[in-house]
Amino acid sequence: MSSLRQSISTSRLIRIALALGLGLLVLLLLWGVLILTETGMSVWDRLSRGPAWFFWVYAAGFAAVTGVGLYLLWKLLRPRRGARTARLPAAQTLTRESIEGRIQAAEGQGLDLAEVRRELALLQKRKEAGKVQVSFFGEISAGKSSLIKALLPEAELQIDVRGGTTRQVHAYHWKSGSGDELILTDMPGTNEVGGGLDVVAREEALRSHVVVYVCDGDLSRSQYDDLHALTDLGKPCIVALNKADRYRQQELEQLLARVKERLGGTVRVELVAVQAGGKREALLVHPDGREETVVRDMPPRVDALAAALQRHLDEDPAVLEQLRDTSVFVLVSRKLDAAQERFRRERAAAITTSYSRKAMIGAMAAVTPGSDLIIQGYLGVAMVKELAALYEVPVRQMDTDLLLRLIQKKVARTTAIMLAVAGNALKSFPGIGTLAGGIAHAAAYGMIFDALGRAVAQSLESRGDLRPAQAAQVFEEQISEDLEASARRFARLALDLRREEPQGREGQAG
């Protein structure tokens, strides 16, 4: 009861505060109106008593200043037409020659670009075929296969009311009413459980001349994002609102208006309402009151879709070809970036492992890990420089020195813990017992350099630059992550390196 009274009291105080604020705002507005009125009347009185030429000069100057101010405000606040498609110029600069140049440079570094080469070969094969590629794209169960069946009654498609029956890409030939030959591609639906086929569908959409985006209702956020990812590249799209028979005419018009509003001023997007056909259950009431459930065939209505496709075919074929090539080059560029990222991660891991081994070998006789090799030795600096060269990021010496100083401070706080954990890890190996000393130090060095290499690589990859403070923070997180498993791994490596030493000396003596 007391809490209820307190709630009512709080609500009343809020209303009183709002009322006071509103009253104050009204008073301020009235005061402003009075000031402006007084000023205006005073200026008008003085102008009316002055010479006529001065009045007109003053009026012209006032109008000019007002006009310039309003124009500048309009320039500043008006929506920019090219804001949404800001990525288009970058995409349009991609050409076959620029892509080939990137491929040759990447292959020179040792990258495996077989997938990229296959993508370009597929583009060339489709260009030589000379047929217009149309992809039916959309979420699972939207009715893509049913629409193709309606356009191509003779085609054998797997259609299931449960949805998700298209597990791979299917291509079908279709000749339009004007004699144009098309390849209609039925693709897996997006947003299925697990999303394993989403990449397949999105990539095939980029390979097409025209995309038919099939939906059966208002656009969800993921559908909106998929559509704009295509239209940002200038990809001609037809949004086919399927299962239109489920709506009354007024509801359908409202839904179409809503979808059109969400698409905004998107260029090269056409909206049509279609019905792929199929069967529907209906309740039949007989004159005697008896009810019966009957199944009726629903005739397909795809004329609007066929007409929209024809309008795109009637456009300049060279423009369609150029737009398709551009989107494929974007896809190839993305695959190049992914291959470069994989290659750099693998090479960064190999560099980190190599320097960790070198640090462990040099640490076999060290007294305190983390001091000489991290701060004064060349290994830490050399590893940072090699990783920076891998990511093609120029690194200043002062940034490297700052990073190693920060690392040394963090190492100083965890040295005892790392040595203790490394010592305990050595006990798990048969025949080692309580062996410590240089082996434990070496394991600690391996942990330090492994965490340092991963931290630097992460900074270079995510930031495109070496950020000492951020890299040092990541180092601290890496060194503390699963400390026991890391210590056991590097303790085993330290033992292997220790066993290799006598063999190396014998070889030198021989």
Is 99 among the domain residues?
no
Asked if residue 363 and residue 302 are part of one domain, the reply reads: no
* Average pLDDT value for residue range 495-500: 72
281 and 384 co-located in one domain:
no
Cα-based angle 451, 455, 458 (whole degrees, multiple of 5): 140
pLDDT at position 387, please? 93
What is the structure's pLDDT at 417? Answer: 65
Q: 364 with 309, same domain?
A: no
Q: Across 265-405, where does the E strand assignment appear?
A: 269-273, 278-285, 291-298
Q: Over the stretch 278-303, which tens digit does the pLDDT of each residue have? A: 666 666 677 777 777 766 667 788 88
| DSSP SS3 for 473 | helix
* Residue 360 neighbours by CB distance under 10 Å: 30
CB atoms within 10 A of CB 14: 10
Helix (H) or strand (E) holding 505: helix 483-509
**Mean pLDDT value of segment 243-255:** 82
Task: Name residues whose C-beta falls within 8 Å of residue 90's C-beta, 6 or more positions apart in sequence.
Answer: none
Model pLDDT, residue 346 = 93
In terms of average pLDDT, the best of 75-89, 116-130, 144-158, 400-414 is 116-130
On average, the pLDDT of the chain sits at: 76
Any domain includes 96 = no
pTM value? 0.64
- Does 143 lie in the same domain as 37? no
Is 270 a member of any domain? yes
Taking the mean position of all CA atoms in its chain, how far away is CA 398? 34
* pLDDT over 90 (residue 241): no
User: Residue 38 belongs to what domain range?
Assistant: 2-77
Domain-embedded: residue 356: yes
State pLDDT tens for residues 11-70: 566 777 777 888 888 888 888 878 878 777 777 777 777 777 777 777 787 788 777 777
- Does 169 share its domain with 123? yes
| CA angle 47–48–53, rounded 5-degree value | 70
Beta bridge partners of 68: none
Residues 344 and 423 in one domain: yes
498 and 364 in a common domain: yes
CA–CA distance, 264 with 278 (Å, rounded to integer)? 32
| 413 and 447 together in one domain | yes
Sign of torsion over alpha carbons 485, 490, 491, 496: positive
The reply to whether 361 and 481 lie within a common domain is: yes
pLDDT in tens, 411-467: 777 666 666 666 655 555 555 544 455 677 777 788 888 888 999 999 898 888 888
Burial of 17: CB neighbours in 10 Å, binned 0-12, 13-18, 19+: exposed
CA atoms lying within 13 Å on the CB side of residue 253: 2
Q: Are residues 245 and 163 in the same domain?
A: yes
Residue type at position 74: W
- Looking at the domain assignment, is residue 93 inside a domain? no
* Sheet with 181-186, edge to edge strand ranges: 170-175, 181-186, 132-138, 210-215, 237-241, 269-273
d(CA 128, CA 63) in angstroms, rounded, equals: 64
Cα distances (angstroms) measured from residue 435 to each of 213, 370, 417, 450: 67, 20, 17, 23
Q: Domain for residue 101, yes or no?
A: no
Does residue 216 sit in the same domain as residue 132? yes
CATH number for 212: 3.40.50.300
The encoded tokens of residue 49 equal 């008593």
**Whether residue 145 sits in one domain with residue 283:** yes
On whether residue 89 sits in a domain, the answer given is no
Q: pLDDT band at residue 407, thresholds of 50, 70 and 90?
A: confident
Strands (E), 187-268: 210-215, 237-241
Q: Is 239 helix (H, G, I), strand (E, B) or coil?
A: strand
Q: Tell me the three state secondary structure of residue 465.
A: coil
8 A C-beta contact, residue 218 and residue 258 = yes
182: left (phi over 0), alpha (psi -120 to 50) or beta: beta
Q: What H or E segment, with its residue span, contains residue 136? A: strand 132-138
> Percentage of the chain with pLDDT > 70?
75
Residue 108: inside a domain: no
- What 118-125 contacts at long range (C-beta under 8 Å, 24+ apart), as own/partner pairs, is 119/328, 119/331, 119/332, 119/335, 120/96, 120/332, 122/207, 123/207, 123/325, 123/328
Alpha carbon separation from 292 to 288, 289, 297 (Å, rounded)? 12, 10, 16
User: For residue 333, how many C-alpha atoms fall within 13 Å in the half-sphere facing its CB?
Assistant: 17
Per-residue model confidence (pLDDT) at position 1: 41
Give dist(CA 356, CA 360) in Å, integer.
Answer: 6
Q: How far is CA 287 from CA 281, 290, 294, 423, 473, in A?
A: 19, 7, 16, 92, 81
Q: Distance of CA 244 to CAs 82, 227, 241, 251, 442, Å?
A: 33, 20, 7, 10, 71
Number of folded domains in the chain? 3
